C-alpha cells in the first residue's frame, strides 16, 4: 500500500512538472520571448554619440508614435 | 542548533547577500520573465539597496517569507505585459489564466504620455513616451493590484526625486522599458 502511494505521489509530481515545463516551453518559443530578449539588448547610437535602447516610444514624435503604436508596427514587424 | 544556524547563514549569504538577488529573481532573469509585479518583493528589496539600507534589510526579510508565483505564471504575465506595452491602445486589457495553479493575471494600459508638439524638447515633463499601466494578480482568490510607469528611457533630475532631491532609480530596466513603481508619485 505504501509502495503504491509512493509511486502515485512520484507520478503526480512528475506530471505536474511536465505540465509546468510545457507552459515554460510555450513562453520560450513565443514571439514575445524573442522580442523581449531582443529589446533588452538592442541599442542605437544617437547623433550625439550616446546610446539609447531601441524602444519605439523613445524618440518618436506624436504622429509617428500614434501611427506605430496604434498599429503595433514595431512588434508586428519583428520576426 | 549550531549546524542549523550555520546552514541558515550559508543559505542567506548564498541567496542574497553575495549576489544582491534572490534565487527566484535569478530564475526570472534566466527565463526573461521579469514582469515587475510578479517579482515585486524581490525587486523592491533590491531597489531599496539603492535608497535606504534599513528598508533594504526589512524588505529582504519580508520577501524571504512571502510565497511567490511559479515561474510559468511569471512568464505568462511577462508575455501579456510585453504585448500590452508595445501594441495595445490605452484602456486595453490583456489577461491570462492558469487553472492548475489557480492563478490569473491582467494588465490594463491606463495612459500614454505624448509630446504633442512633436519636437525634440519635451513638454511632457520628461515623461514623453511613458505608459502608465495597472497589473492585477490573483492567487487562490487573493487579489493584488500594482501600478507602474514604464518609460522608454530613464527619468532624470527633477522629474522623479526622493525627499533628498536625488533621482529615484527605476525598479527594473527590461525589454526596452524603465519600470517605476507608481507609489513614488504619491
Count of structural domains, chain B: 2
Q: Does residue B93 sit in helix, strand or coil?
A: strand
d(CA B85, CA A37): 15
Same domain, B76 and B160: yes
Q: Which cell goes with B150?
A: 514604464
CA atoms within 13 A on the CB side of B45: 22
Name the residue of chain A whose CA is nearest to B28's CA.
A24
Burial code of B13-31, b = ≥16 C-beta within 10 A, e = fewer? eebbeeeebbebbebbeeb
Provide the angle, in degrees to the nearest 10, between the axes of the packed helices A31-41 and A2-28: 60
Cα dihedral: B178, B182, B184, B186 (round 10) = 150
Does pLDDT of A3 surpass 80? no
Same domain, B117 and B51: no
Name the residue of chain A whose CA is nearest to B87's CA.
A72
Residue showing cell 506595452: B85
Same domain, B102 and B179: yes
Q: Which of A14, A34, A27 is nearest to B27 (CA)?
A: A27
Same domain, B49 and B17: yes
Which residue among B12, B41, B65 closes a domain? B65
Q: Is B21 on the interface with A (CB under 8 A)?
A: no
Same domain, B13 and B77: no
Same domain, B99 and B169: yes
φ, ψ for residue B86, nearest 5 deg? -90, -20
Which residue among B65, B98, B116 closes a domain? B65
ipTM here? 0.74
Give A26-67 pLDDT, tens digit per residue.
Answer: 899 998 899 899 889 888 776 677 777 888 787 655 455 555
Domain that holds residue B180: 71-185
Does pLDDT of B7 surpass 90? no
pLDDT given for residue B67 in this prediction: 73
Q: Which of B42, B45, B47 is nearest to B29 (CA)?
A: B42
Same domain, B116 and B32: no
Contact at CB, A65 and B129, closer than 8 angstroms: yes
Same domain, B45 and B13: yes
Same domain, B78 and B145: yes
Which residue among B11, B32, B65 closes a domain? B65
Interface test with A, best of B75, B77, B103 (most A CBs within 10 A): B75
CA B77, chain centre distance (Å): 12
Of A20, A55, A65, which is closest to B70 when you measure between CB atoms?
A20
Give B79-108 pLDDT, tens digit per residue.
Answer: 999 999 988 888 899 999 999 899 999 999
d(CA B101, CA B130): 33
Could you tell me the pLDDT band of residue A76, with boundaries at 50, 70 and 90? low
Same domain, B27 and B113: no
d(CA B76, CA A2): 37
Amino acid at each position: 500500500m505504501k509502495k503504491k502511494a509512493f509511486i502515485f505521489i512520484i507520478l503526480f509530481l512528475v506530471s505536474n512538472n511536465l505540465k509546468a515545463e510545457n507552459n515554460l516551453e510555450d513562453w520560450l518559443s513565443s514571439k514575445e520571448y524573442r522580442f523581449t530578449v531582443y529589446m533588452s539588448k538592442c541599442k542605437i547610437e544617437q547623433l550625439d554619440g550616446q546610446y539609447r535602447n531601441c524602444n519605439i516610444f523613445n524618440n518618436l514624435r506624436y504622429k509617428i508614435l500614434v501611427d506605430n503604436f496604434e498599429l503595433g508596427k514595431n512588434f508586428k514587424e519583428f520576426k | 542548533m549550531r549546524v542549523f544556524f550555520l546552514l541558515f547563514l550559508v543559505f542567506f549569504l548564498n541567496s542574497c547577500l553575495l549576489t544582491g538577488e534572490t534565487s527566484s529573481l535569478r530564475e526570472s532573469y534566466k527565463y526573461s520573465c521579469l514582469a515587475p509585479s510578479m517579482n515585486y518583493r524581490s525587486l523592491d528589496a533590491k531597489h531599496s539597496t539603492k535608497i535606504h539600507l534599513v528598508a533594504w534589510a526589512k524588505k529582504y526579510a519580508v520577501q524571504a517569507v512571502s510565497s511567490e508565483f511559479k515561474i510559468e505564471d511569471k512568464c505568462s504575465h511577462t508575455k501579456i505585459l510585453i504585448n500590452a506595452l508595445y501594441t495595445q491602445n490605452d484602456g486595453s486589457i490583456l489577461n491570462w489564466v492558469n487553472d492548475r495553479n489557480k492563478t490569473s493575471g491582467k494588465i490594463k494600459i491606463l495612459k500614454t504620455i505624448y509630446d504633442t508638439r512633436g519636437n525634440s524638447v519635451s513638454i511632457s515633463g520628461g515623461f514623453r513616451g511613458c505608459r502608465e499601466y495597472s497589473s492585477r494578480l490573483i492567487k487562490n482568490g487573493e487579489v493584488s493590484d500594482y501600478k507602474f510607469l514604464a518609460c522608454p528611457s530613464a527619468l532624470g533630475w527633477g522629474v522623479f526625486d526622493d525627499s533628498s532631491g536625488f533621482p529615484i532609480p527605476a525598479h527594473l530596466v527590461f525589454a526596452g522599458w524603465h519600470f517605476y513603481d507608481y507609489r513614488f508619485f504619491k
